[in-house]
Amino acid sequence: MNEIILNKKISIERCIKQIRDYYALPSETPFESDYLKQDAIGINLQRISELTIDIANHLIKKKKLGLPQDSGDAFVLLQRAGLITHEMVIKMKGMVGFRNVLV
């Protein structure tokens, strides 16, 4: 695996662990009202989204797949190259939309 992709994968795994750890923290405040916990989880979700987009853009550049018009389009280019499925494109575009809500 490419070192750039491997480092981003490691960062994604660390973010996932942090999300699980933050969510599991005991609190007398319900999650819906615990804005500190929500922010901690939200920033890690944002990081995961950005790291995933970075991986997509790295693959596009390395394989010379074209120039994506936006973050969601990066995943369409990967699908056209046979690297991901249509179902994955839908999920990744949803992730991009959610990231846009977070920021």
Question: How confident is the model over 8-32, as pLDDT tens digits?
Answer: 999 999 999 999 999 999 999 999 9
Closest to 25 in 3D by CA, of 10, 44, 40: 40
* Strand, coil or helix: 70: coil
Supply the pTM of this predicted model.
Answer: 0.91
The yes-or-no verdict on residue 53 having pLDDT over 90 is: yes
Residue with tokens 């997509």: 56
pLDDT recorded at residue 44: 98
Burial of 67 (0-12, 13-18, 19+ CB in 10 A): exposed
Token duo for residue 56: 């997509």
**With pLDDT > 90 as the criterion, what percentage of the chain qualifies?**
97
Mean pLDDT, residues 84-97 taken together: 97
* Strand, coil or helix: 2: coil
pLDDT recorded at residue 103: 83
